[in-house]
Structure 1
Amino acid sequence: MQIEPTELKAARDRLVRVQGQIGGIVKMLDEGRDCTELLTQLSAASTALTRAGFTIISTGMAKCGNDPEGKANRETLEKAFMSLA
Structure 2
Amino acid sequence: MTSNVSEADGTTGTSEADRALGYEQARDELIEVVRRLEAGGTTLEESLALWERGEELAKVCRRWLDGARARLDAALAEDEDGTGGGDKGAGA
TM-score w.r.t. the length of structure 1 is: 0.56
Aligned to 2:67: 58
Higher relative contact order (CA 8 A, sep 6+): 1
Query: Partners of 2:78 and 2:38 in 1: how far apart?
Result: 42
Query: Partners of 2:68 and 2:77 in 1: how far apart?
Result: 16
**Cα displacement (A) at 1:36:** 1.2
Summarize deviations over 1:6-57 as a string: whole Å, max 9, x none: xxxx313321221111111222x2x2x3211100111101110121011111
The structure with more radius of gyration: 2
Runs (4 or more) in structure 1 with deviation over 3 Å come to: none
Q: Which runs of 5+ in 2 are unaligned?
A: 1-21, 80-92
Aligned to 1:15: 27
Aligned to 2:47: 38
Query: Partners of 1:17 and 1:25 in 2: how far apart?
Result: 12
* Paired residue secondary structure (1:66): helix
Query: Partners of 1:13 and 1:44 in 2: how far apart?
Result: 13
Figure out how many residues of one structure are paired with residues of the other and give that number.
58
Q: Could you say what the CA RMSD is over the residues aligned between the two structures, in angstroms?
A: 2.1
Residue 67 of structure 2 aligns with an amino acid whose one-letter code is: S
Task: Identify, as 1 or 2, the structure richer in helix.
Answer: 1
